[in-house]
């Protein structure tokens, strides 16, 4: 049987749109901690708060975004969200106090939550069902590439130029994402938009996809660990005297992720999620431990590579599980449910870890996060992995008996 095409115009358009948006997102995520500490004379707690406020806004808007996607339509919500994201980016030029920056980060977070929910749902609609793991893996690869280019560009700009140039670049990238969104095409016959009669009343069931919650909880726990990297890696590198290595951390992260991505997506579709998720979580834990012990550029970057192999495979795999477990008509809600838990983990982690770092050290923070990752491993086994393994055993037994 011939495979349905994956690299269609619609898939490329939504992937590149998200790519430009995420570059700007990661530029700000990795450089604003330094902006708060050096330019605004803030402390570690305020650094964590700047990230947390952004993600709290994203978390609050995601359930409504998922509902709007299935009721109003994917493309309309994507356009509105990208306009809000672009306008918010422009206002960073005037965010020169902590309170002003906090307000702006909240508004910007609303746009981010809407964009990522809409784009993720559109990608899930476009990718053929039998290639979900592979397709969403490649879609996430664009996000991971942005994770490389964003921090590298951001940290390089503030090292040699100024934050004003950085804000200009972020504004241009947001505008490009807005322009490219006009080329996004949904597949013909797509029935993602619900009729008025089909729309459920406002309730928990209309805001969250129940079938996506178990794996989303696991994603949220893992996100707590990853928040320590997103929010504090640049500050940690500066503390170690490795600030130049910080811009290369995500380069080696992405290189490792890119090497594994062509295989992990296909293996997911062929052999099932457990064969990918368990090893990936263990690799993530090993990488985090090495990061907590790093004292040299080599050790610092080696940790980035191993984290790339582990965590780089986890998010697309877990998102695919959430979507495949849900009904096609509720993919928008499944996507928003997944990222609601994910962003909650990032937000809580950024704030709490910022407080922990004030009283201990960033090395201690990363060591603690190794334990959090193993907590996610246990959670995955109890909430999804055990059930999946039993189902695969039953299916294998059925095939054997048929023979």
Rounded CA gap, 209 and 254, in Å?
31
Binned at pLDDT 50, 70 and 90, residue 22 comes out as very high
Contact 49, 351 (CB under 8 A): yes
Binned at pLDDT 50, 70 and 90, residue 74 comes out as confident
Predicted TM-score of the model (pTM): 0.73
Contact 152, 247 (CB under 8 A): yes
DSSP letters, 320-361, are HHHHHTS-GGGHHHHHHHHHHHHHHHHHHHHHHHHHHHHHS-
Contact 94, 164 (CB under 8 A): no
The reported pLDDT for the residue numbered 366 is 95
The reported pLDDT for the residue numbered 393 is 66
Q: Which long-range contacts (CB under 8 A, 24 or more apart) does 322-330 make?
A: 322/209, 322/211, 322/212, 322/215, 322/216, 322/219, 323/124, 323/132, 323/136, 323/212, 324/132, 325/211, 325/212, 325/215, 326/209, 326/211, 326/212, 327/211, 329/70, 329/191, 329/192, 329/194, 330/70, 330/209
**Torsion of Cα atoms, 80 then 86 then 88 then 93, to 10°:** -170
Residues 6+ apart with CB under 8 A from 23: 146, 149, 150, 153, 173
Q: Which long-range contacts (CB under 8 A, 24 or more apart) does 33-38 make?
A: 33/231, 33/232, 33/234, 33/235, 34/158, 34/234, 34/235, 34/238, 35/158, 35/163, 36/98, 36/101, 37/235
DSSP 8-state code for residue 208: S
Q: Give the residue from 226, 206, 221 showing the smallest Cα distance to 337.
A: 206
Structure tokens given for 25: 């997102």
Query: pLDDT tens digits for 286-328?
Result: 999 999 999 899 999 999 999 988 988 888 888 888 888 777 7
Burial 70-101 (b: 16+ CB within 10 A, else e): bbebbbebbbbbbebbbebbebbeebeebeeb
> What value, to the nearest 5°, has the Cα angle with vertex 121 and ends 199 and 146?
150
Q: Tokens 């490329």 label which residue?
A: 12
Higher pLDDT pick, 151 / 197: 151
- Residue 171 φ then ψ, to 5°: -65, -45
Query: pLDDT tens digits for 187-242?
Result: 765 545 544 444 455 555 556 778 888 899 999 999 999 989 877 887 888 888 88
The reported pLDDT for the residue numbered 83 is 94
All structural domains of the chain with their residue ranges: 9-186+208-397
Rounded CA gap, 299 and 58, in Å?
34
The reported pLDDT for the residue numbered 91 is 93
Rounded CA gap, 58 and 110, in Å?
5
pLDDT surpasses 70 at 401: no
Highest-pLDDT range among 3-17, 264-278, 303-317, 384-398 = 303-317
Q: Can you identify the CATH homologous superfamily of domain 9-186+208-397?
A: MFS general substrate transporter like domains (1.20.1250.20)
């Amino acid at each position: 049987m011939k495979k349905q095409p994956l690299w269609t115009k619609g898939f490329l358009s939504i992937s590149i749109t998200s790519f430009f948006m995420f570059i700007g997102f990661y530029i700000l995520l990795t450089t604003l901690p330094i902006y708060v500490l050096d330019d605004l004379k803030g402390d570690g707690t305020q650094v964590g708060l700047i990230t947390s406020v952004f993600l709290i806004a994203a978390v609050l808007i995601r359930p409504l975004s998922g509902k709007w996607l299935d009721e109003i339509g994917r493309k309309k919500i994507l356009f509105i969200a990208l306009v809000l994201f672009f306008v918010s980016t422009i206002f960073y030029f005037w965010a020169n106090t902590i309170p002003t920056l906090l307000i702006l980060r909240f508004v910007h977070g609303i746009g981010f939550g809407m964009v990522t929910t809409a784009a993720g749902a559109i990608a899930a609609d476009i990718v053929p069902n039998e290639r979900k793991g592979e397709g969403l893996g490649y879609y996430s690869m664009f996000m991971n590439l942005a994770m490389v280019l964003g921090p590298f560009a951001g940290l390089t700009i503030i090292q040699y130029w100024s934050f004003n140039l950085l804000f200009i670049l972020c504004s241009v990238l947001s505008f490009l994402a807005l322009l490219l969104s006009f080329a996004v095409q949904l597949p013909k016959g797509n029935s993602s938009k619900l009729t008025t009669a089909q729309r459920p009343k406002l309730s928990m069931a209309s805001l969250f996809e129940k079938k996506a919650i178990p794996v989303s909880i696991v994603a949220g726990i893992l996100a707590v660990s990853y928040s320590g990297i997103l929010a504090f890696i640049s500050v940690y590198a500066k503390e170690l005297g490795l600030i130049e290595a910080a811009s290369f951390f995500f380069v080696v992260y992405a290189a490792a992720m890119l090497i594994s991505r062509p295989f992990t997506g296909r293996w997911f579709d062929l052999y099932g999620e457990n064969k990918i998720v368990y090893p990936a979580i263990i690799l993530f834990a090993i990488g985090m431990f090495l990061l907590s012990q790093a004292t040299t550029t080599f050790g610092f970057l080696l940790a980035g590579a191993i984290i790339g192999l582990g965590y780089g495979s986890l998010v697309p795999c877990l998102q695919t599980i959430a979507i495949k477990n849900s009904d096609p008509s509720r993919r928008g809600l499944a996507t928003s449910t997944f990222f609601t838990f994910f962003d909650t983990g990032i937000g809580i982690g950024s704030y709490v870890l910022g407080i922990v770092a004030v009283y201990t050290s960033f090395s201690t923070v990363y060591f603690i996060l190794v334990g959090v990752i193993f907590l996610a491993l246990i959670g995955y086994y109890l909430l999804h992995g055990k059930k999946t393994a039993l189902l695969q055993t039953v299916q294998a037994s059925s095939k054997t008996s048929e023979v």
